[in-house]
Chain A
Amino acid sequence: GAVVSQHPSRVICKSGTSVKIECRSLDFQATTMFWYRQFPKQSLMLMATSNEGSKATYEQGVEKDKFLINHASLTLSTLTVTSAHPEDSSFYICSARGGRDLVREQYFGPGTRLTVT
């Protein structure tokens, strides 16, 4: 089956620093990748949609200069949290769309737990 990996699985950083999270589709090419954020006991909230080779589309209220997304290849998208603050601590999950079925062929990564101290 289709596998999406994320790296790192867990990261702790100091306030003011930047951290990069990678999302990879391991056995398929992903033309579109989605980045979600999930706070404890809350829903997944879509942050942005990235298409390979083009700029990401951000959801309302998400600061594009703070959450930099790069979808440089059909198997890799990165999310960089710049100048991280404790309120950015969250579970970040990516999903990758591999086929024409927009929903059934969308696969989620295992998530990255970010803690900002």
Chain B
Amino acid sequence: QKEVEQDPGPLSVPEGAIVSLNCTYSNSAFQYFMWYRQYSRKGPELLMYTYSSGNKEDGRFTAQVDKSSKYISLFIRDSQPSDSATYLCAMSLYNQGGKLIFGQGTELSVKP
């Protein structure tokens, strides 16, 4: 079983839709939960960062962490064609010096 599971998609939505992306994980010791956006043939860029359980909102993006269910989500409101990219969830332990464990990534396409 992979430590972090993410549906690879692809996911196609119309412009303006609400997008829901999810990851599950097996290691209950993870404390840091991140979402990265990766455009084709580029490196990932950090979108959202959450420590422990709860919600965090930044503009059109909302990240949720449910540690009891080992489940994290990223919601994108009013999706735009420019949001088309691969979204990777990533997790980290406190004492591992920044080592990140990534999910497989979900490929999102927002159609005009």
Contact = CB atoms under 8 A, between A and B. Distances in A.
Given A43-B102, A46-B99, A46-B100, A102 B92 contact: yes
Contact of B49 (A4, A103, A108, A109): A103
A44 B99 contact: no
Given A49-B97, A91-B41, A104 B103 contact: no
Contacts of A109: 43
A64 to B, nearest CB: 17
A102 B97 contact: yes
Interface of B: 4, 6, 8, 32, 34, 36, 41-46, 49, 88, 92, 97-105, 107
A41 B40 CA distance: 10
**Size bin of chain A's contact surface:** 20 to 34
Interface string A39-57: 0011111100100000000
A32 B49 CA distance: 20
A34 interface: yes
A41 B10 CA distance: 10
Main DSSP-derived SS at the A contact region: strand
Nearest to B91: A103
Contact of A103 (B42, B44, B98): B98
A32 to B, nearest CB: 7
Instruction: Please give me the 10 A-B residue pairs with the lowest Cβ-Cβ distance, nearest first.
Output: A102-B98, A108-B43, A43-B102, A44-B102, A43-B104, A110-B43, A108-B44, A109-B43, A111-B43, A103-B32
A97 B98 contact: yes
